[in-house]
Chains A and B, each alone.
Chain A
């Protein structure tokens, strides 16, 4: 049973990281967008393995159903997508790799070296009750602020992307 869950974890982790590699290195922006879907689905699988059922579903609904479709719309609206060579140019790859290897080495040392305080993870429980309870008690103010942010983002996106009407 334990080896089985380890196998599933490595499979999902490989899907997540492999798709992220596709996003970062693909020559075509459309392929990058579809690789992004693999990363989002892989992350949702990791969330399930971490016992966060509600967040996994929200991840699929919001990221795959919302953000990814929005990105594909933006790609189609803005680009000569058939033009593979110019569609997803990267520059400065070498300096970026140097910077990243520095940051990555520091973080890897922190992850592997720091004695994290861990507790024994129990069997996963349904999380929706506790999350909803938290939203209406401890996190009530951030929750209301979040709704204001979403409203502002909605109006802002409409204002930014509409065509200017010339009245004269």
Chain B
């Protein structure tokens, strides 16, 4: 199994995550799409670390990505709960107070 196989898997996961972000109207669904995109980035990092550099730099960066994903999920879900308390829904089309 070479580098290309892993990159193709990562491409598919990235595309599905971007599809999720673009089409979902549920705020938590959008966050799930973001998690898919971050996971595909991690697969890329580790695949290149194994097949292209042979070092550990890619693995260190993957840990940073996981850490930022955890922080992003905590903050994002707190914001979602705040939106729910204000609007009684988390449908992104209902929350358009900021639209000019």
Are A24 and B90 touching (Cβ within 8 A)? no
Are A88 and B7 touching (Cβ within 8 A)? no
Chain B contact patch, size range: 35 or more
Chain A contact patch, size range: 35 or more
How far apart are the CA atoms of A6 and B2 in the complex, in Å?
A: 10
Residues of B within 8 Å of A29, CB to CB, are 26, 28-29
Give per-residue flags for A32-43: 1 if the beta carbon is below 8 A from chain B beta carbons, else 0.
110010011001
Chain B at the A interface: SS class:
helix
How far apart are the CA atoms of A139 and B32 in the complex, in Å?
A: 29
Distance to closest chain B CB from A96 (angstroms): 4
Q: Contacts A46-B6, A121-B54 given: A74-B23 contact, CB under 8 Å?
A: no
A interface list, Cβ under 8 A from B: 5-6, 9, 13, 16-17, 20-21, 23-24, 29, 32-33, 36, 39-40, 43, 46-47, 49-52, 54-55, 58-59, 62-63, 66-67, 70-71, 73-75, 77-79, 87-93, 95-97, 99-100, 103-104, 107-108, 111-112, 116-119, 121-122, 127, 130-131, 134-135, 139, 142, 146, 149-150, 152-154, 156-158, 160-161
* Known pairs A24-B33, A24-B36 / 8 extra A-B pairs, C-beta < 8 Å: A43-B13, A47-B43, A58-B63, A67-B70, A78-B90, A90-B24, A131-B63, A135-B60
B interface list, Cβ under 8 A from A: 1-9, 11-20, 22-26, 28-29, 31-33, 35-36, 39, 42-43, 46-47, 49-54, 56-57, 59-60, 62-64, 66-75, 77-82, 84, 90-91, 93
